[in-house]
Copies of this chain bind each other. A is one copy, B any other.
Amino acid sequence: MYDQQLAQKASENLKTLRVKKPLIHNITNYVVMNYTANALLACGASPVMAHASEEVEEMVSFAGALVLNIGTLTNAWIDSMLIAGKKANELSIPIVLDPVGSGATKFRTESAKRLINELSIGVIRGNASEVLSLAQEGSRTKGVDSIHSVEDAADAALMLAEELNTTLAITGPTDLITDGEHIYKVLNGHELMGFVTGTGCTATALIGAFLSVDNDPVSASATSLAYFGLAGEKGAVHSKGPGTFQIALIDALFTINEEQVRKGVRIEKRPR
């Protein structure tokens, strides 16, 4: 029932990450910087946060992946993201984008689209409304208001991934990953994840970490999200609320072993 090849791959990706400890360069929002840095450390990566236009080109050149997140954007930060992103593209370093709040304000939607238009992005991760807001004017992609089920979202995501020529990872109770051709669903996760700020942003950062060791964006996204969701399930067991849960989630990212990942991830391939 669950994809065994991707379960194996999840386990291998985590193992490689823990051995290689790649530098992950984040230009992200103020709210989640601390939490995502701790999550990246817990999974085995080496996080760095650097946003000054004077240094982002140099910093990204040492990185295994670049994570861009517009959660507390300003134009100066978007400019730095573009500088870092162009250098990353030049060096074939994968980029993951989190279009936080795209669709909520014009400034966010336009900034996200600017990043997508000017950079080659490996994976875009967001919730359904954020991701689907990225469709160009006149696109065939259905708007968020017409999405009534995971299947509707999957169909819309498929078209949009093709249109944007990238991989989309839409997270929610069920995560959807598509490159416009294949669709995978990740069934791992826990509802408490919705009560901790920055779990979405952390999912994005973990996709970045997995992209640094797995050059297939679909596989990197599905395996990292499944690992993260599994850590959420494990962390929730002894939690008394979202406070203890956010801490237990970091512990779980760290303590979960590769065998537990192989057996515990629940990734399905949806026939197109």
Residues on A lying within 8 angstroms of B by beta carbon are 29-35, 37-38, 41-42, 47-52, 54-55, 58-59, 62, 71-75, 101, 104-108, 195-198, 240-244, 246-255
Judging by beta carbons under 8 Å apart, are B240 and A251 in contact? yes
Specify which chain B residues have a CB less than 8 angstroms from the CB of A38 in the assembled complex.
196-197, 242-243, 246
A249 to B49, CA, bound (A): 23
Of B75, B242, B247, the contact of A42 (CB 8 Å cutoff):
B242
CB distance from A71 to the nearest CB of B (A): 7
Residues on B with C-beta less than 8 A from A42 are 195, 241-243
Copies of this chain, tallied across the complex? 3
Q: Give Cα A195–Cα B251 distance, bound, in whole angstroms.
A: 11
CB atoms of B197 and A34 under 8 A apart:
yes
Report A199 CB to chain B, min CB distance, Å.
10
Q: Which of B31, B41, B255 contacts A34 (CB 8 A)?
A: B31
A108 touches B55 (CB 8 A): yes
Residues in chain B near residue A247, CB distance under 8 A: 243-244, 246-247
Q: What's the minimum C-beta distance from A110 to chain B, rounded to whole angstroms?
A: 9
Which A-B residue pairs are the 6 nearest by beta carbons? A241-B251, A243-B250, A55-B107, A37-B197, A243-B247, A55-B105
Q: From known contacts A241-B251, A243-B42, A251-B240, infer whether A75 and B101 are also in contact, taking CB-CB under 8 Å.
A: no
Name 8 interchain pairs, CB-CB below 8 A, sorted by A: A29-B49, A31-B34, A37-B198, A38-B242, A42-B243, A51-B72, A243-B250, A243-B251
